[in-house]
């Protein structure tokens, strides 16, 4: 048993020495890892062996060799980790490029993965080999796309990025939202405000774009009930100060005019400052509107905002009586230096200019002073878009029986928003207007009244040279003869245009007119 155990020990020792000998031979014969230099040694170290310490007598340090190998393995692992990190960082970019390639191959379809909405399908381009019908097909596709999406404005340009598909790139821009144009109804104690509100609501195309704000003064309970009966169709606001205003003794009979001016100031501040609107159309509780009332103001809003020589748009023609206007020219518009009122559009920046100096009474005449007008004009129609039915009021029926009751209200809808109204801009209008007026034959008023020798329908020109001659001619021809700061009603550059016996007539100052004479009031 002892002999057998001794044999096993000897065999084990022999195997241990043999294995270590083989390992030593393997490590000794293995070439150094690194870049070889000139003498076969690895760098750094030149001709010397890299990383191997020599013993005295030429032996090799086995432990040092093992440590060196471990360091090499660790270094290699770090390198592999860095490579893996780089691969992961570029993975998202590779997938994005691969997705773009797929979309290009699918014909340019785009999916919005974030919103999960269906893609906007662009019209297919023409076949690549059909060069003859290329332009026609592209135009047809674009027209179909615009028709399908009417609220989009489309510009086209060739797409040079995808030449193989020969498609057209569509640059789509959403049009800006339409401006809100509130209608401010100035009311007091007329229950007939119902007639005004009924027509406004009947013809209003959109409650959102044209909110109706009824501002009531006076505190008249029955009128308040009528306004309240419309519910959410209108906004009812009330001027809180109903007290009398201290005035000069000779102005006591004009107390109503003072209260109206106070009401206007308060109501306009509510619209512009409290409700923050940028524009407003002002009507009073005794006005009835035409079917195209809203269309008229909508179309003229861009002209008013873009031409600094304009400061209002009015629906009223002071000389708009039957027989004085052309019933076949419902689309005819003019510039006028006279502030007409009676349904008019005002911008917020103009109100900011007027409000600090707003008068205590007679606000409409005050608007006609040169200090307020500042040589600016308004737009007015040939045929009025408002008509007054209020004979009784603070003016006690002044002008109503003689003029106002005969004003013709337009009944034909004119699609003004589809018309090119750029001719109303001052630089365009003045040239054409002056040319038309002063190229018309100059005749005497007697010739016009008798009609002898006047075969053409006009226009003809009748000339005044003084305040008195203007008033005489205006009365004989049936137009309003009063002047405010020298400006005739409905006049532009001193010219009043109207019909007389079916002929177009211009009542004009001499050629070369430059300015109004304020003493002609």
Q: What is the CATH number of the domain that holds 206?
A: 3.90.550.10
Strand-pairing partners, residue 313, are 345, 379
In a domain, 489, yes or no: no
DSSP 427: H
> Is residue 365 annotated as a catalytic residue, yes or no?
no
Q: With 80 as the cut, is the pLDDT of residue 133 above it?
A: no
Q: How many CA atoms lie within 13 A of 202 on its CB side?
A: 11
Q: With 60 as the cut, is the pLDDT of residue 152 above it?
A: no
DSSP 55: P
Q: What is the pLDDT of residue 396?
A: 46
The token pair at 456 is 């053409």
In a domain, 500, yes or no: no
Cβ–Cβ under 8 Å, residues 317 and 273:
no
Catalytic member of 364, 365, 481, 517: 364
Identify which of 75-79, 230-234, 398-402 has the greatest average pLDDT: 230-234
Band the pLDDT of 90: cuts 50, 70, 90.
Answer: low
Contacts of 131 (CB under 8 A, 6+ apart): none
d(CA 183, CA 230): 15
In a domain, 117, yes or no: no
In a domain, 165, yes or no: no
Angle between helices 293-306 and 193-203 (to 10 degrees): 80
Q: For residue 336, which of 352, 351, 317 has the smallest C-alpha distance?
A: 317
d(CA 488, CA 309): 19
Q: What is the pLDDT of residue 405?
A: 85
The token pair at 474 is 């205006």
Lowest mean pLDDT among 72-86, 242-256, 402-416: 72-86
Report the pLDDT averaged over residues 391-403: 64
Range of the domain at 265: 178-407
Q: With 50 as the cut, is the pLDDT of residue 504 above it?
A: yes
| Residue whose pair of structure tokens reads 């001499």 in the numeric block | 510
* Helix ranges (DSSP H) in 397-466: 426-438, 445-450
Q: With 50 as the cut, is the pLDDT of residue 174 above it?
A: no
Q: What is the pLDDT of residue 322?
A: 93
Lowest mean pLDDT among 50-54, 282-286, 472-476, 515-519: 50-54
| Residue 49 burial by Cβ neighbours in a 10 Å radius (0-12, 13-18, 19+) | middle
Q: What is the pLDDT of residue 120?
A: 38
d(CA 409, CA 413): 12
Q: What domain count does the chain have?
A: 1
Report the pLDDT averaged over residues 395-420: 84
The token pair at 318 is 């002071």
Q: What is the pLDDT of residue 232?
A: 97
| Residue whose pair of structure tokens reads 């662009």 in the numeric block | 122
The pTM of the full predicted model, rounded to 2 decimals, is 0.67
Band the pLDDT of 80: cuts 50, 70, 90.
Answer: low
Q: What is the pLDDT of residue 124?
A: 43
In a domain, 331, yes or no: yes
Supply φ then ψ for residue 255, to 5 degrees: -55, -35
**Structural Rg of the chain based on CA atoms:** 46
In a domain, 273, yes or no: yes
Element (H, E) at 487: strand 487-488
d(CA 502, CA 460): 11
Q: Is the dihedral of CA 75, 76, 77, 83 positive or negative?
A: positive
Strand-pairing partners, residue 387, are 288
In a domain, 79, yes or no: no
Lowest mean pLDDT among 66-70, 130-134, 161-165: 161-165
The two beta strands, 287-289 and 333-336, are unpaired
In a domain, 256, yes or no: yes
Cβ–Cβ under 8 Å, residues 351 and 276:
no
Strand-pairing partners, residue 154, are 172
Lowest mean pLDDT among 123-137, 151-165, 308-322, 433-447: 151-165
Cβ–Cβ under 8 Å, residues 336 and 426:
no
Band the pLDDT of 451: cuts 50, 70, 90.
Answer: confident
d(CA 430, CA 310): 13
pLDDT digits (tens, 9 = 90+) for 189-211: 999 999 999 999 999 999 999 99
The token pair at 437 is 């007026």
Identify which of 31-35, 110-114, 238-242 has the greatest average pLDDT: 238-242
Q: With 50 as the cut, is the pLDDT of residue 129 above it?
A: no
Report the pLDDT averaged over residues 456-465: 93
Band the pLDDT of 123: cuts 50, 70, 90.
Answer: very low
Element (H, E) at 31: none
Cβ–Cβ under 8 Å, residues 205 and 229:
no
DSSP-assigned letters across all residues of 321-350: BTTTS-TT-TT-EEEESS---SSEEEEHHH
Supply φ then ψ for residue 307, to 5 degrees: -110, 105
Q: For residue 347, which of 430, 411, 282 has the smallest C-alpha distance?
A: 282
d(CA 508, CA 464): 6
Q: What is the pLDDT of residue 473?
A: 97
Q: Which residue has the higher pLDDT, 82 or 488?
A: 488
Q: With 60 as the cut, is the pLDDT of residue 486 above it?
A: yes
Band the pLDDT of 395: cuts 50, 70, 90.
Answer: low
Find how far residue 73's CA is from the centre of its chain: 70
Three-state secondary structure readout of 247-272: CCHHHHHHHHHHHHHHHHHHHHHHHH
The CA–CA distances, whole Å, from 14 to 8, 17, 18 equal: 10, 5, 6
Q: What angle is formed at CA 318 by the lines to CA 313 and CA 257, rounded to 5 degrees?
A: 80
The two beta strands, 377-381 and 235-238, are unpaired
């Amino acid at each position: 048993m002892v002999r057998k155990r001794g044999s096993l020990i000897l065999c084990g020792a022999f195997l241990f020495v043999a294995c270590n000998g083989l390992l030593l031979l393997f490590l000794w014969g293995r070439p150094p890892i690194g870049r070889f230099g000139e003498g076969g040694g690895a760098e750094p170290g030149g001709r010397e062996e890299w990383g191997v310490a020599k013993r005295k007598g030429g032996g090799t340090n086995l432990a040092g060799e093992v440590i060196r190998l471990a360091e090499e393995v660790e270094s290699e692992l770090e390198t592999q980790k860095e490579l893996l990190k780089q691969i992961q960082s570029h993975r998202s970019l590779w997938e994005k490029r691969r997705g773009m390639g797929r979309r290009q191959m699918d014909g340019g379809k785009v999916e919005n993965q974030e919103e999960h909405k269906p893609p906007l399908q662009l019209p297919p381009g023409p076949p690549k080999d059909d060069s003859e019908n290329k332009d026609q097909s592209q135009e047809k596709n674009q027209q179909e796309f615009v028709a399908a999406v009417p609220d989009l404005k489309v510009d086209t340009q060739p797409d040079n990025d995808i030449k193989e598909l020969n498609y057209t790139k569509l640059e789509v821009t959403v049009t800006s939202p339409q401006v809100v144009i509130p209608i401010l109804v100035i009311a007091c104690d007329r229950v007939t405000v119902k007639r005004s509100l009924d027509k406004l609501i009947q013809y209003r195309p959109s409650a959102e774009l044209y909110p109706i704000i009824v501002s009531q003064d006076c505190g008249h309970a029955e009128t308040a009930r009528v306004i309240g009966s419309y519910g959410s169709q209108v906004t009812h606001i009330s001027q809180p100060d109903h007290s009398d205003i201290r005035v000069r003794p000779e102005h006591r009979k004009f107390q109503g005019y003072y209260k109206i001016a106070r009401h206007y100031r308060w109501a306009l501040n509510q619209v512009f400052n409290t409700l923050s609107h940028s524009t407003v159309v002002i009507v009073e509780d005794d006005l009835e509107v035409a079917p195209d009332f809203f269309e008229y103001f909508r179309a003229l809003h861009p002209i008013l905002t873009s031409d600094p020589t304009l400061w209002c748009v009015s629906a009223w023609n002071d000389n708009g009586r039957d027989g004085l206007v052309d019933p076949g020219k419902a689309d005819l518009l003019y510039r006028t230096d006279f502030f007409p009122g009676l349904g008019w559009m005002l911008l917020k920046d103009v109100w900011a200019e007027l409000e600090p100096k707003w008068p205590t009474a007679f606000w409409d005449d005050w608007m006609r002073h040169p200090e307020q007008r500042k040589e600016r004009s308004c737009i007015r129609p040939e045929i009025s878009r408002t008509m007054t039915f209020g004979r009784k009021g603070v003016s006690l029926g002044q002008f109503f029986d003689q003029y106002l009751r005969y004003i013709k209200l337009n009944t034909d809808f004119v699609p003004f928003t589809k018309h090119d109204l750029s001719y109303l801009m001052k630089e365009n209008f003045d040239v054409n207007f002056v040319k038309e007026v002063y190229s018309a034959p100059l005749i005497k008023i007697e010739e016009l009244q008798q009609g002898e020798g006047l075969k053409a329908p006009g226009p003809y020109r009748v000339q005044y040279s003084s305040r008195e001659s203007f008033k005489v001619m205006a009365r004989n021809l049936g137009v309003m003869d009063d002047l405010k700061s020298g400006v005739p009603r409905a006049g532009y550059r001193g010219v009043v245009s109207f019909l007389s016996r079916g002929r177009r007539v211009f009542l004009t100052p001499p050629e070369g007119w430059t300015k109004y004479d304020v003493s002609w009031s």
